């Protein structure tokens, strides 16, 4: 309700005849009278500058000035007012303003009133006259070049000593049927008073006589009765200017005055409402509406709007045809505005936490006015991928009352987030009632869930919560108290968690720091990933050091002197990247060999598709390799894989496997290599039981084995080398994980595989890898020494994995190794570059053969010695600096050869005369002495 009036007009004292001016107001009065005297003593040559004709009977009258309207009313009520309308009897405001400026430009004149002169630029005018301490007059410098005059009114606005002054002539008005803009003519004080919207606004203060003038004869009486009444017949008054309907509503709510019954009847008239909709600009409607909602009693203003059936007249979108406009549901308006008023007046928790200042108070009433549009259908985007149009309520605010962008944005957010806010309030309410009940999904009571919600809702979340509350009040009118308790508990919970200002919380990490911690380039993924970091930050308010967040991202957070691998934040980022960043990019190329749960698909065995270059259409389905986001996703996938541990890999298995298999299935060697490298890291932390349960060991094997055939006949040598170097270790690790001997069958499994059976399957897989990988590939690439080097490097760990089971392959392996160690490269140009690495790989593979197959070495010692001795002779005379490859020279090769001979000596023993055989070789070729001694 409106505040108590400082001064009321007493019945027994009679109407006052004069007013007591403040010192500033008296200074203004003196200035204006002196300007009037100046004009009378030096009249203008004519009125050519004015578009309004001055009647002959006024031409010879002296200038009389009056303070009018609201200022007089407020003075009588004892309410301070800084807005003064000055009515001039025989000049327009434009004409008087010019002479006022002329007067103040006379040297010495401004000083009489404590002024310094007139502002000379827009920049000076912005501050001029804004306070009683500001000695410069603002606004007058513009009136000659830009008088800001309308065709009819020719008014001028200026600022003097903190007072906003409107200069306008006394006038009478004639209205047309289709416009509220009158045909203006000079009028008498009586005519000017009678054209005003209300009798209480129609009194004048004549500054010449210093008397109050009440030409309607009812101004004082109506103030005493606290009555809003039109000076003339209400219907015609509103018909002439329908905006007066809204002005009366505003004054009624501001002054706590009741509106005259005849005026109320006319305000309900459909003709008047139609004229208000048709004749009044929406800018003017918006100004009056905003003033009413910002006033002391917005409840009464809205009550009158609803009660007078003016809601759709004011709150509608004029850009939409009436017949097509959504009809708002105004049922329950009284309960809604009463509830809001009670909350604000009694400072309930809803107001205490959500309405902190006048701006948020205004916004709460503005949103309350739009609740009837709560069920309006949400507009659909004009086309897929386009942004959806604003909600109807926002369009009503924007077009119907010309709300500011800030207000419109708040309305948009309030409507779109209403359901989420209400759901979160309900979820917390249920959580509080049943704290023992298990939680599915996000915990509505947790700090991170609530904090991130507030950050999503943004700075206007308090106003949005008010809107959600009012919507529930209207939809549950019989349980308003229960709704209040529910929202009160929600707000108290936010306060207890210190989340009321969560939207202002500064992140510990920015995008640059996060990208550096992840060791990945920045990209479009960053924004959502920072939300994950913020959620972690909300869960741990005790952590304020950005370095702690960086350590968490890297997965190595220090706690009580110990390093904890795979920190909480790292795990959260892993889940986020896999689900929301990586998976969408790989969705169109999901492998057909696995289910959505990451299990093997039961299917018939079919031949793999023929490998061909992909078409443009096929490439378009692979955004992970054709877009910037895709490149970022691969970088993030590498980080995700590096963050895996045994527990986490099982949790995200169904998200992790599809992109890995997609990479392995791609036709380009580069992506196959990436897939193999990533899978290798994953397998190193994958429990054997997980492979067993999902059946993906076979799927991985089927994806990797064809890569071994990507040799120089179909792939450039460099790509082949990189691919083979990645695939062999992955296959070897896959075998070890699949057939881990200590791994029992998974719980509930019908399989009863024994340790012996698993060992047999393991050896069988290793045999296949050696035959189809090493031996077969060697036969196809024997003239490609760089490929041979890779094969021999991969042979060594494979032999160690096979152990004694490798003996069955000796008849194939030893000729390969002997040939490699003894044959000279055909291409002399590449000899120096590849000879040493190839020979080193061959020697180390020979060592592995001896170590794993030593029981059979006495049978194959001749073949071994052949390879070692011929290799020794190849490098015997070479100098170290003439060698090639990775810092290894002939000297290192000679050392490895001697060690290999020692291994063979131990493996063979004394029973076969090995030393005699060595002596015979030395006797035949003296250079071999250093090899055997």
Pair 345, 461 in one domain? yes
Interval 512-544: pLDDT, tens: 999 999 888 888 888 999 999 999 999 999 999
User: Last residue of some domain: 175, 202, 222?
Assistant: 222
Percent of the residues in the chain that have a pLDDT greater than 70, as a whole number: 87
Is pLDDT above 60 for 178? no
Interval 486-499: pLDDT, tens: 999 999 999 999 99
Q: Quickly list H helices, 295-356.
A: 298-307, 311-314, 333-345, 349-354
Is pLDDT above 80 for 610? no
Is pLDDT above 80 for 884? no
What range does the domain containing 905 cover? Answer: 789-877+888-932
Helix (H) or strand (E) holding 370: helix 358-370
Q: How far apart are CA 401 and CA 311, in angstroms?
A: 12
Is pLDDT above 60 for 57? yes
Pair 470, 324 in one domain? yes
In a domain, 913, yes or no: yes
Is pLDDT above 50 for 563? no
User: Tell me, what's the pLDDT at 439?
Assistant: 66
Pair 686, 733 in one domain? yes
Is pLDDT above 80 for 88? yes
| Higher local confidence (pLDDT), 181 or 230 | 230
In a domain, 833, yes or no: yes
What's 74's domain CATH number?
Answer: 3.30.460.10
* φ, ψ dihedrals at 45, nearest 5°: -70, -20
User: Tell me, what's the pLDDT at 750?
Assistant: 52
In a domain, 210, yes or no: yes
User: Tell me, what's the pLDDT at 46?
Assistant: 54
Interval 857-872: pLDDT, tens: 989 999 999 999 999 9
Query: Do 419 and 378 form a contact (C-beta atoms < 8 A)?
Result: no
User: Last residue of some domain: 704, 739, 774?
Assistant: 739
Is pLDDT above 90 for 211? yes
In a domain, 282, yes or no: no
- DSSP structural state of residue 281: -
Is pLDDT above 90 for 242? yes
Q: How far apart are CA 175 and CA 244, in angstroms?
A: 14
Pair 462, 475 in one domain? yes
Interval 381-440: pLDDT, tens: 888 888 889 999 999 999 999 999 999 999 999 999 999 999 999 999 999 888 877 666
Query: Do 720 and 712 form a contact (C-beta atoms < 8 A)?
Result: yes
Pair 588, 487 in one domain? no
Segment 285-307 mean pLDDT: 97
Cα four-point dihedral sign 676, 681, 683, 684: positive
In a domain, 698, yes or no: yes
In a domain, 78, yes or no: yes
Interval 704-747: pLDDT, tens: 999 888 776 667 889 999 999 999 999 999 999 999 866 555 55
Interval 327-356: pLDDT, tens: 999 999 999 999 999 999 988 889 999 999
User: Last residue of some domain: 199, 222, 245?
Assistant: 222
Number of domains composing the chain: 5
Pair 627, 665 in one domain? yes
Pair 498, 354 in one domain? yes
Cα→Cα distances 677→71, 181, 382, 681, 798, Å: 82, 79, 45, 7, 17
Predicted TM-score (pTM) of this structure: 0.80
How does the average pLDDT of the chain come out, rounded?
A: 87
Q: How far apart are CA 933 and CA 922, in angstroms?
A: 10
User: Tell me, what's the pLDDT at 115?
Assistant: 94
In a domain, 678, yes or no: yes
Is pLDDT above 50 for 9? no
Q: How far apart are CA 262 and CA 158, in angstroms?
A: 38
> For the chain, what is the largest distance between any 2 Cα atoms, rounded to a whole number of angstroms?
148
User: Tell me, what's the pLDDT at 181?
Assistant: 58
Segment 245-259 mean pLDDT: 97
Residues composing the chain = 933
User: Tell me, what's the pLDDT at 700?
Assistant: 93
In a domain, 279, yes or no: no
pLDDT band of residue 560 (cuts 50, 70, 90) is very low
User: Tell me, what's the pLDDT at 12?
Assistant: 52
Pair 718, 666 in one domain? yes
Pair 199, 75 in one domain? yes
Segment 582-587 mean pLDDT: 84
Is pLDDT above 80 for 3? no
Q: Which of 105-109, 418-422, 616-620 has the lowest mean pLDDT?
A: 616-620
Pair 492, 451 in one domain? yes
User: Tell me, what's the pLDDT at 614?
Assistant: 58
Is pLDDT above 60 for 883? no
Residues contacting 457, CB < 8 A, separation 6+: 413, 417, 421, 464, 503
Instruction: Report the number of secondary-structure helices (H) and strands (E) in the chain.
Output: 45, 14
3-state SS assignment for residue 347: coil
Pair 817, 700 in one domain? no
Pair 590, 734 in one domain? yes
């Amino acid at each position: 309700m409106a505040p108590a009036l400082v001064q009321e007009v007493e019945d027994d004292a009679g109407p006052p005849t004069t007013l007591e001016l403040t010192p500033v107001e008296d200074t203004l009065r003196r200035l204006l009278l002196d300007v009037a005297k100046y004009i009378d003593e030096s009249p203008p040559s004519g009125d050519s500058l004015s578009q309004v004709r001055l009647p002959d009977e006024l031409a010879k009258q002296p200038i009389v000035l009056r303070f009018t309207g609201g200022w007089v009313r407020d003075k009588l009520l004892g309410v301070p007012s800084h807005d003064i309308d000055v009515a001039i009897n025989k000049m327009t405001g434009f004409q008087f303003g010019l002479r006022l400026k002329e007067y103040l430009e006379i040297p010495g004149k401004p000083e009489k009133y404590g002024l310094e002169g007139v502002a000379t630029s827009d920049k000076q005018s912005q501050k001029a006259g804004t306070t009683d301490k500001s000695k410069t007059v603002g606004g007058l410098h513009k009136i000659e070049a830009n008088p800001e005059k309308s065709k009819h009114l020719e008014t001028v606005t200026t600022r003097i000593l903190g007072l906003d002054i409107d200069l306008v002539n006394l006038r009478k008005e004639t209205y047309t049927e289709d416009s509220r803009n009158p045909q203006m003519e000079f009028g008498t004080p009586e005519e000017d008073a009678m054209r005003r919207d209300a009798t209480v606004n129609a009194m004048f203060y004549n500054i010449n006589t210093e008397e109050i003038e009440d030409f309607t004869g009812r101004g004082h009486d109506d103030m005493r009765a606290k009555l809003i009444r039109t000076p003339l017949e209400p219907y015609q008054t509103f018909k002439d200017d329908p905006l007066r309907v809204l002005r009366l509503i505003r004054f009624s709510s501001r002054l706590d005055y009741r509106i005259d019954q005849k005026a109320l009847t006319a305000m309900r008239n459909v003709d008047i409402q139609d004229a208000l909709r048709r004749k009044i600009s929406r800018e003017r409607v918006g100004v009056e509406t905003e003033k009413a909602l910002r006033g002391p009693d917005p409840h009464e203003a809205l009550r009158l709007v609803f009660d007078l059936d003016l809601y759709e007249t004011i709150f509608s979108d004029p850009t939409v045809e009436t017949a097509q406009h959504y009809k708002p549901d105004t049922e329950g308006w009284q309960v809604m505005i009463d509830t809001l008023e009670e909350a604000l007046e009694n400072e309930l928790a809803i107001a205490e936490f959500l309405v902190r200042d006048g701006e948020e108070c205004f916004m709460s009433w503005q949103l309350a006015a739009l609740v009837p549009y709560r069920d309006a259908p949400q507009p659909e985007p004009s086309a897929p991928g386009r942004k959806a149009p604003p909600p109807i309520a926002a369009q009503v605010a924007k077009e119907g009352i010309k709300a500011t962008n800030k207000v419109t944005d708040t309305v948009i957010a309030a409507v779109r987030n209403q359901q989420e806010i209400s759901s979160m309030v309900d979820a917390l309410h249920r959580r509080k009632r049943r704290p023992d009940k298990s939680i599915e999904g996000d915990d509505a009571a947790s700090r991170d869930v609530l904090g991130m919600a507030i950050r999503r809702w943004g700075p206007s979340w308090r106003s949005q919560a008010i809107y959600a509350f009012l919507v529930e009040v209207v939809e549950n009118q019989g349980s308003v108290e229960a709704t209040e308790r529910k929202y009160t508990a929600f707000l108290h919970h936010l306060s207890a968690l210190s989340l009321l200002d969560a939207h202002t919380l500064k992140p510990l990490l920015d995008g640059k720091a996060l990208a550096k911690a992840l060791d990945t380039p920045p990209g479009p993924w960053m924004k959502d990933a920072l939300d994950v970091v913020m959620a972690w930050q909300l869960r741990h308010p005790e952590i304020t050091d950005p370095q702690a967040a960086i350590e968490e991202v890297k997965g190595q957070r220090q706690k009580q002197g110990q390093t904890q691998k795979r920190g909480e934040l790292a795990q959260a980022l892993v889940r986020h990247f896999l689900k929301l960043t990586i998976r969408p990019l790989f969705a169109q190329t999901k492998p057909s060999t696995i289910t959505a749960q990451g299990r093997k698909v039961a299917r018939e065995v079919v031949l793999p598709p023929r490998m061909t270059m992909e078409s443009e259409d096929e490439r378009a389905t692979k955004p992970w390799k054709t877009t910037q986001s895709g490149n970022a996703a691969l970088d993030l996938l590498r980080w995700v894989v590096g963050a895996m541990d045994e527990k986490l890999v099982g949790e995200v298995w169904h998200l992790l496997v599809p992109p890995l298999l997609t990479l392995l299935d791609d036709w380009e060697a580069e992506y196959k290599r990436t897939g193999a490298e990533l899978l290798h890291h994953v397998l190193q932390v994958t429990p054997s039981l997980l492979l067993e349960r999902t059946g993906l060991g076979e799927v991985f094997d089927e994806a990797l084995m064809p890569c071994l055939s990507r040799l120089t006949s179909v792939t450039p040598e460099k790509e082949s080398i990189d691919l083979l170097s990645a695939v062999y270790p992955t296959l070897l690790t896959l075998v070890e994980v699949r057939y881990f001997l200590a791994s029992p069958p998974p719980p509930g499994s019908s399989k009863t595989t024994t340790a012996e059976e698993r060992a047999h399957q393991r050896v069988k897989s290793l045999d296949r890898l050696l035959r189809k990988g090493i031996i077969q590939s060697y036969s196809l690439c024997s003239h490609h020494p760089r490929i041979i080097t890779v094969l021999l490097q991969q042979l060594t760990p494979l032999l160690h994995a096979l152990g004694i089971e490798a003996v069955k392959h000796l008849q194939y392996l030893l000729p390969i190794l002997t040939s490699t160690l003894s044959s000279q490269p055909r291409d002399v140009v590449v000899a120096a570059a590849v000879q040493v690495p190839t020979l080193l790989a061959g020697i180390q593979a020979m060592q592995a053969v001896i170590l794993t197959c030593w029981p059979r070495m006495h049978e194959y010692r001749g073949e071994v010695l052949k390879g070692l001795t011929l290799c020794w002779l190849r490098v015997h005379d070479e100098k170290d600096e003439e060698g090639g490859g990775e810092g290894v020279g002939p000297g290192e090769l000679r050392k490895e050869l001697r060690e290999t001979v020692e291994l063979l000596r131990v493996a063979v023993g004394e029973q076969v005369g090995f030393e005699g055989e060595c002596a015979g070789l030395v006797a035949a070729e003296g250079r071999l002495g250093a090899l055997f001694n």
